[in-house]
Amino acid sequence: MELRLLGPVELHAGGRALSGGRPQQQVLLAVLAVDSGRLVSAETLMDRMAGPVPARRSTRLLHTHVTRIRRALEEAQAADGTTVRLARRAGGYVLEMPPHQVDVHQFNLLVRQATRAGRPATAQVALLREALDLWRGEPLAGLSGPWVEATRQVLREQRLSAVIAWARSALDAGDAPAVIGPLVQELVEYSLAEPLVAVLMRALAATGRAAEALTHYAAVRHRLAQELGADPGTELQAIHRAILRGEGTQEARAIRVTPAQLPAGVRAFTGRTRELERLDALLTGTGAAAPAEVPVAVLSGVAGVGKSALAIEWAHRAADRFPDGQLYVNLRGLDPNNALARLLRALRLDGPGVPGDLEERAAYYRSEVAGRGLLIVLDDAVSSEQVRPLLPGTPTSAVLVTSRDRLAGLVSVHGAHRLDLGPLPHADAVALVHRLIGPRLVHESESVAIDAMVRNGLSRPLTLRVAAELGAARVTPSLVELLTELADQDRLNLLDAHAPPSPGGCGRRGDRTVPTPVHVLRHQQADRANGGPAQRADQAAGQDDGGRDRQWHNGRQPDREDRFADAEPVRRDHHDDAGGGGHREARDTD
């Protein structure tokens, strides 16, 4: 059984095409197929099926078309024996159909396989040609409505990107003559697509037809000026100069930079195994996104929980799966236009022809990265509106976003997958502190101190790293003494963003007061020492630092510079939180 959308909507089984039903039924089947394996709400199905006519939006009509689709699926199953179900779930429906049986998903799978790092050019050509051969004409042909038009446009852009990627691979494989005819045909419809003109000019120059290449350049420059008031982009201008100097295509190839902007990973990254595996599946696995979507994952969580460190750790591990490079932007304090400018500069696409308007600049950016296998890491996003213009238009690239916001707009509109991060599990948190402190952790009591600190709630990676850094930087006192002193001064609470300082070594969480980890630890130590109930904390800790107490409560921080003189700088400019990760100056205890 096969469901085809790259042309008229058709259900094939047993070697023949089965009736797709009325137009509304075909739209409904297409909506379910685009999101096969995912729940689509009844509200969404009715909106996309009805289009701009509110009167046609009814639950009864939806149920009627669902019944007809089920009958068609049963007929197809009888023809070839495969099992496909349209299942009812809470609030909506799921088309339980393997991705390879839907042509749009198979198309994207082949394109992703072709752009995988290390694949020979000849293999890329074969895979991309196989993907393009799935197209039978205008996608969703004969149907109309806002969702249909938007999806059709996305699919057409994806096809154009695949054509460009195929042509580039063919050039790299030394088969320039094979691409010229198809590219000229594509120019009839996409006359302003600069990447298309660029690869055509390269092919013409490689076959000794430099004059024709220059003619195409003059034509596109004229169209850009007339219709957009813009000049050709950096890549096209460089190819033009190279041909004029008689340098062929070698310089033109060289200008396609491969950015590698990922910051260094954090020291002693620990845990997050499940999250790393989930990111693998979402951003590089098969069927990671619907055909009208770019693979996007959002790491969401509170400050200091480790979003940035996890993102950068995964990005380094997956870098070889993105042959065209990795882009990184810290979005803190940037508007979308400035963020786009940084991305374009990283790609050497910041020439005078870049539009200044946000919408036009975003379209220019999507055109330039179309068909490229890029990983784009957007760190510390504030809102969905800040991220949307930075998304590429084709699924050959992937985007990883970190944010304290849940970015519901990206999830609902762009199909992003959100991973909500919490504190490290107890075992991983303890292991992280042990790895950070290293050989200085020599006493059993210090292990007990770490365990108590984690067990009593301070298990966010940033909190653990700050405490470990203080412990590792001290020359003489043990970790237990350090934590006890911090408790006396009520300073350990400052490491926890949700536990403001309060008298008596306790912090507030919600509506209840809880003891700090060191407060609890000192009572446990007193129990062991005295063989009975814990003594008062000040008795267990001793009275040596009374002067320091008075200094802190009078607003002074005793010997602060001395305590941190031998420690590494707290600031980590490249990201804001640690997950198993690093941290940045405590603008917000990240």
Q: Give the residue-averaged pLDDT of 290-296.
A: 70
Q: Give the residue-averaged pLDDT of 217-225.
A: 92
> Which region, left, alpha or beta, applies to residue 202 given φ > 0 means left and ψ of -120 to 50 means alpha?
alpha
Higher pLDDT, 435 or 385: 385
**Secondary structure of 294-309 in HEC code, one letter for each residue:** CCEEEEECCCCCCHHH
Strands (E), 261-356: 296-300, 326-330
Residues in the chain: 590
Higher pLDDT, 26 or 456: 26
pLDDT tens column, 187-211: 999 998 999 999 999 999 988 899 9
DSSP H or E run through 384: helix 384-387
Helix (H, G, I), strand (E, B) or coil at 53: coil
Burial class for 227, CB neighbours closer than 10 Å (0-12, 13-18, 19+)? exposed
**Cβ-based neighbour number of residue 168 at 10 Å:** 24
For the chain, domains (ranges, CATH) are 2-101 (1.10.10.10), 105-254 (1.25.40.10), 273-420 (3.40.50.300), 426-459+476-564 (no CATH)
According to DSSP, the residues that pair with 296 across neighbouring strands are 399
| Contacts of residue 460, Cβ cutoff 8 Å, sequence gap at least 6 | 302, 304, 305, 306, 423, 424, 496, 497
Q: Which of 42, 106, 84, 85 is nearest to 291 (CA)?
A: 106
Confidence of residue 499 (pLDDT cuts 50, 70, 90): very low
Distance CA 542, CA 545 (A): 8
* One-letter identity of residue 48: R
pLDDT tens column, 95-152: 999 888 999 999 988 988 887 766 888 999 999 999 999 999 999 999 999 899 989 9
pLDDT tens column, 19-53: 778 898 999 999 999 988 888 899 889 888 876 55
Helix (H, G, I), strand (E, B) or coil at 435: helix
Mean pLDDT of the chain: 75
Confidence of residue 357 (pLDDT cuts 50, 70, 90): confident
Helix (H, G, I), strand (E, B) or coil at 418: strand
Among the residue ranges 145-159, 358-372, 498-512, the one predicted with the least confidence is 498-512
The two structure tokens encoding residue 437: 């402190």
**Cβ-based neighbour number of residue 296 at 10 Å:** 27
Instruction: Quote the pLDDT of residue 567.
Output: 34
Confidence of residue 477 (pLDDT cuts 50, 70, 90): low
Q: Give the residue-averaged pLDDT of 353-357.
A: 79
- pLDDT for 422 beyond 60: yes
- In the block, tokens 């350049």 appear at 217
- Buried b / exposed e over 328-361, threshold 16 CB at 10 Å, is bbbbeebebeebbbbbbebbbbeeebbbeeeeeb
